[in-house]
Amino acid sequence: MPPATPDDLFALFDRLDIRAVTHHHDAAFTVEEGHRVWGSIPGTHCKNLFLKDGKGRLWLVVAPAERRIDLKSLPEKIGSARLSFGSAALLTEVLGIEPGSVTPFALVNDREYRVSVVLDAEMMAQELINYHPLRNTMTTTLTPAELVRFLEHTGHAHLTVAL
């Protein structure tokens, strides 16, 4: 089955009664580039780290864009082995997306439930949060409750941690 497209994702949002708003902009591959294109998009802008631990377990860590993530102390907080970044090939294989477009929405493509999800507690306390809808030329705004509804639909449990 081919990976979901943004249109597939938006149709799923409609079925799940997720009232997300999507903004189109120039491609943003990094948080720094994101600052140039986010403009007046409301809400907390986020980053997503696709990680692999020393035991081969995959992780998606989702946090506010400005949050510093210490990969040395993170394993103790989430119960993982030593962490490193997953390769571009593994990202495409498991989540069906390209580097620069990492997003919790790509979990719709993880039909084998290989990825464990870690959400930053402060991010989940915000009114609105923002992620790429599978492509880094758009930003989608939704509520934390809507993100949880999406994750539950995909069958991905999540761990909420103060990062």
Domain count for the chain, please give it. 1
Digitized pLDDT (tens) for each residue of the chain, 163 residues in all: 899 999 999 999 999 999 999 999 988 888 888 888 888 899 999 999 999 999 999 999 999 999 999 999 999 999 999 999 999 999 999 999 999 999 999 999 999 999 999 999 999 999 999 999 999 999 999 999 999 999 999 999 999 999 9
The closest of 47, 77, 78, 50 to 64, measured between CA atoms, is 47
Is residue 121 one of the residues assigned to a domain? yes
Place of tokens 């009232």: 19
Is residue 17 one of the residues assigned to a domain? yes
Is residue 1 one of the residues assigned to a domain? no
Q: Are 144 and 43 in contact (CB under 8 A)?
A: no
SS3 call for 49: strand
Global confidence as pTM = 0.94
Q: What is the CATH number of the domain that holds 18?
A: 3.90.960.10
Is residue 89 one of the residues assigned to a domain? yes
Place of tokens 């102390």: 73
Is residue 153 one of the residues assigned to a domain? yes
Is residue 133 one of the residues assigned to a domain? yes
Q: C-alpha angle with apex 85: 43 to 119, nearest 5 degrees?
A: 35
Alpha carbons 11 and 15: distance in angstroms, whole number: 6
Task: Give me the amino acid identity at 3.
Answer: P
Alpha carbons 50 and 100: distance in angstroms, whole number: 11
Is residue 141 one of the residues assigned to a domain? yes
DSSP 105: G
- What's the Cα-to-Cα distance from 116 to each of 33, 38, 93, rounded to whole Å? 27, 28, 16
- In which domain, by residue range, is 102 found? 6-161
